[in-house]
Amino acid sequence: MAANSRVTIAAHALAWMELARRRGRAQLTSEEVAASVNTNPVIVRRSLGDLRRAGLVSTRRGTGAGFALARPASEITLLDVWTAVAAEPLIALHHTEPNLECPVGAGIRPVLAEVYDEATAAFRAKLAGQSIADVLERILQ
């Protein structure tokens, strides 16, 4: 099973947009972002669309068209990014009911649900403590 890279692509795009903003370019096209991510602009547009719907980026059409951060990079956390692009749970339980006649099957779901909830809370807390500005500062060090 492949790891989900949607959060990484979105964080990369936002960090690049913040660096461009610092260098005097408030707007970037999806092609410019895709060149940094080294992926197809369609994939970047899909990601930027998710970020736009979440209020993290804005779009401009016509002359000077492109994408820009909708709020300061210091106010966009990795949790915001994860919430915007990764709709699925971090870890999921069985897709079908396990065998309730089996002692493990009968009790595994509530036990794992509790463990997964605790792990997800720790994951979310870690992401909430890191902004896009923090990520960019670490990149530039």
Average pLDDT over residues 63-92: 90
Average pLDDT over residues 82-108: 88
**Angle of the 6-22 helix axis to the 132-140 helix axis, nearest 10:** 70
**Of 65 and 2, more confident:** 65
Start-to-end Cα distance in the chain: 33
What is the rounded CA–CA span in Å between residue 124 and residue 122? 5
pLDDT of residue 78: 96
Percent of the chain clearing pLDDT 90 (strictly above): 82
Average pLDDT over residues 77-99: 88
Task: Determine the 3-state secondary structure of 66 from DSSP.
Answer: strand
Q: What's the pLDDT tens digit per position in 3-36?
A: 578 999 999 999 999 999 999 998 999 999 999 9
Does the pLDDT value for residue 64 go beyond 80? Answer: no
Identify the CATH number of the domain defined by range 6-140. Answer: 1.10.10.10
